[in-house]
């Protein structure tokens, strides 16, 4: 009955070696895949750590665009977008919106006039169950061409002028953004800012035709330029106070504009604007009608991950949405695990003045 006679005659020691090799080899392959053997690999964890200021991150807060305030409202779609995407959000109708005005800083207590870039997180939900999330900034182009270059920027910026010069040598595309940052007028209200998605996404219409698209929100309010020192005089949190009272007085509006790439336009690089004269489609109006503080607000525990898209929209060859999704998830995991460091009621907390 014993089948040892039918099997190959290998010594038990050799068999044990085989078993040990299989186990050790599998464990090594797992560790390699996880990146534990390659500390130079750019992981979401490293990218997010690089955002932290010298004193460490603000616990419980977003690792970037940390200062912000929630809003709710609606998106009034005019139906024009259906020529580009079959997403329900573009059919004529009014859909609920949740969003967040924010400043591009890792410091939730930064003074408004010290932060050049402003942003908006936006979520539009439709009855078919689809959700569209987006995080946009007021700059017309992004600072760099690739996520790797963004990591390089985060590492170079704190090291001073020499390091930045070297960085610009490696990433000359930065100059377009620097030009905007140096010359574009500041405003004293989120309601007067444009917000640009910058990344390219593929929109698919009902016939299945894909097209590369970028989107922007253009303010209905006329921008009134203000010098940064003038803004500074109004107080460190003027923007949040202003938008809260402005919206309390009257809903604020932005027009959503889609821009369609033409064949040959670079869709993989958000630091390059598309040539003027591209087809644009006004698809509807964002109406913000309520502003709510972040500690208890509905935007607090939302990740405005740019890869959360409705049917009819998907990522393109632009490498940023994937990198952002991985980094935002990491930031979300961290900040939700630190929730006790950011008390829910503003009164109880020290995190927000």
Scored b (16 or more CB within 10 A) or e, 189-198 reads bbbbbbbbbb
The tokens describing 155, both together, are 């590492």
Instruction: Check residue 86 for interaction with ligand HEM (CB under 6 A).
Output: no
* Site stretch for ligand HEM (CB under 6 A), options 233-241, 254-262, 273-281, 319-327: 319-327
Whole-angstrom distance, CA of residue 105 vs CA of residue 68: 10
Partners of 135 in beta bridges: 121
Least Cβ distance, residue 47 to ligand HEM (angstroms) = 5
Of 205, 265, 333, 338, which one interacts with ligand HEM (CB under 6 A)? 333
Of 115, 226, 327, 351, which one interacts with ligand HEM (CB under 6 A)? 327
Q: What is the largest CA-CA distance in the chain?
A: 94
Kindly report the number of other CB atoms within 10 A of residue 268's CB atom: 15
Instruction: Check residue 303 for interaction with ligand HEM (CB under 6 A).
Output: yes
Tell me which residue has tokens 């930045």: 164
Instruction: Check residue 335 for interaction with ligand HEM (CB under 6 A).
Output: yes
Least Cβ distance, residue 10 to other proteins (angstroms) = 7
Partner from other proteins, ligand HEM, none contacting 43, C-beta within 5 to 8 A by type: other proteins
End-to-end CA distance of the chain: 81
Q: CA separation (Å) from 90 to 70, 79, 254, 259, 292?
A: 24, 5, 16, 14, 27
Q: How many residues bind ligand HEM (CB under 6 A)?
A: 34
Q: Where are the alpha helices (DSSP H) in the chain?
A: 12-33, 44-49, 147-156, 161-170, 174-183, 228-233, 238-249, 320-337
Partner from other proteins, ligand HEM, none contacting 326, C-beta within 5 to 8 A by type: other proteins
Least Cβ distance, residue 349 to other proteins (angstroms) = 15
Residues in touch with other proteins (CB under 8 A): 1-4, 6-7, 10, 12, 15-16, 18-19, 22-23, 26-27, 29-30, 33-35, 41-44, 47, 129-131, 147, 301-303, 305, 307-308, 311, 315, 317, 319, 321-323, 325-327, 332-333, 336-337, 339
Whole-angstrom distance, CA of residue 85 vs CA of residue 260: 11
Instruction: Check residue 100 for interaction with ligand HEM (CB under 6 A).
Output: yes
Whole-angstrom distance, CA of residue 21 vs CA of residue 303: 43
Binding residues for ligand HEM (CB under 6 A)? 47-48, 51, 62-65, 68, 100, 102, 119-121, 135-137, 142, 147, 150, 197-198, 270, 303-304, 320, 323-324, 327-329, 331-333, 335
């Amino acid at each position: 009955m014993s089948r040892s006679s039918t099997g190959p005659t290998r010594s038990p020691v050799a068999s044990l070696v085989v078993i040990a090799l299989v186990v050790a080899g599998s464990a090594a392959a797992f560790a390699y895949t996880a990146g534990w053997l390659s500390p130079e690999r750019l992981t979401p964890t490293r990218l997010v750590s690089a955002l932290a200021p010298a004193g460490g991150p603000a616990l419980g807060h977003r690792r970037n665009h940390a200062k912000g305030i929630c809003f709710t409202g609606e998106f009034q779609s005019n139906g024009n977008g259906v020529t580009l995407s079959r997403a329900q959000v573009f059919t004529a109708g009014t859909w609920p919106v949740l969003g967040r005005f924010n400043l591009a800083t890792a410091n939730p207590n930064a003074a408004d006039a010290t932060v050049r870039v402003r942003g908006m997180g936006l979520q539009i939900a439709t009855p078919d169950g689809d959700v569209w999330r987006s995080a946009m900034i007021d700059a017309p182009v992004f600072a760099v061409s690739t996520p790797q270059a963004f990591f390089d920027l985060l590492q170079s910026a704190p090291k001073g002028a020499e390091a930045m010069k070297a960085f610009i040598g490696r990433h000359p595309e930065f100059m377009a953004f620097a030009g905007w940052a140096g010359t574009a007028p500041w405003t004293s209200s989120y309601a007067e800012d444009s917000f640009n998605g910058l990344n390219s996404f593929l929109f698919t219409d009902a016939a299945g035709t894909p097209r590369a698209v970028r989107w922007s929100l253009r303010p209905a309010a006329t921008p009134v330029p203000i010098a940064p020192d003038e803004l500074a005089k109004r107080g460190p949190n003027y923007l949040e106070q202003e938008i809260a009272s402005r919206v309390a007085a009257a809903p604020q509006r932005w027009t959503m504009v889609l821009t369609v790439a033409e064949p040959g336009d670079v869709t993989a690089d958000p630091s390059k604007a598309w040539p003027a004269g591209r087809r644009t489609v006004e698809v509807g109006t964002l109406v913000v009608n309520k502003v709510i503080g972040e500690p208890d607000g509905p935007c607090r525990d939302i990740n405005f991950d740019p890869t959360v898209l409705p049917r009819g929209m998907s990522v393109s060859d632009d490498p940023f949405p994937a990198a952002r999704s991985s980094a935002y998830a990491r930031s979300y995991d961290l900040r939700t695990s630190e929730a006790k460091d950011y008390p829910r009621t503003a009164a109880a907390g020290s995190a927000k003045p």
